[in-house]
Amino acid sequence: MGYVKTGILMAAMTGLFLGMGYILGGATGALIALAVAAGMNAFAWWNSDTMVLRMHNAREVDAHTAPELQKMVMDLARNADMPTPKVYIIQNDQPNAFATGRNPDNAAVAATTGLLDRLSSEEVAAVMAHELAHIRNYDTLTMTVTATFAGAISMLANFAMLFGGGRNRQNPIAMIAMMILAPLAAALVQMAISRSREYEADRIGAEICGNPLWLASALQRIQGFASQIDNASAERNPASAHMFIINPLHAFKRDKLFSTHPATENRVKTLEKMAAEMGVQSAPSRSSRRPDRSGPWS
Compute the distance between CA of residue 150 and CA of residue 120 in angstroms, rounded to an integer: 37
250 is in an annotated binding site: no
For residues 142, 213, 296, 71, the Cα torsion angle rounded to the nearest 10 degrees is 30
Active site annotation includes 68: no
**122, 123, 131, 200: which is the annotated catalytic residue?**
131
Q: Which residues contact 119 (CB under 8 A, 6 or more apart)?
A: 95, 127, 218, 221, 222, 288
What sign results for the dihedral spanned by CA atoms 263, 115, 91, 97? negative
130 is in an annotated binding site: yes
198 is in an annotated binding site: yes
CB 106 within 8 A of CB 217: no
CB 295 within 8 A of CB 211: no
Q: Which residues contact 167 (CB under 8 A, 6 or more apart)?
A: 23, 24, 25, 26, 29
> Letter for the amino acid at 228?
Q
Q: Which residues contact 294 (CB under 8 A, 6 or more apart)?
A: 71
> Letter for the amino acid at 218?
A
- β partners of residue 111: 89, 97
**Helix H segments across the chain?**
2-55, 67-79, 113-118, 121-136, 139-163, 172-176, 182-209, 212-226, 232-236, 264-278
CB 240 within 8 A of CB 56: yes
Binding residues are 130, 134, 198
Which residues have a catalytic role annotated?
Answer: 131
Binding residues for Zn(2+) are 130, 134, 198
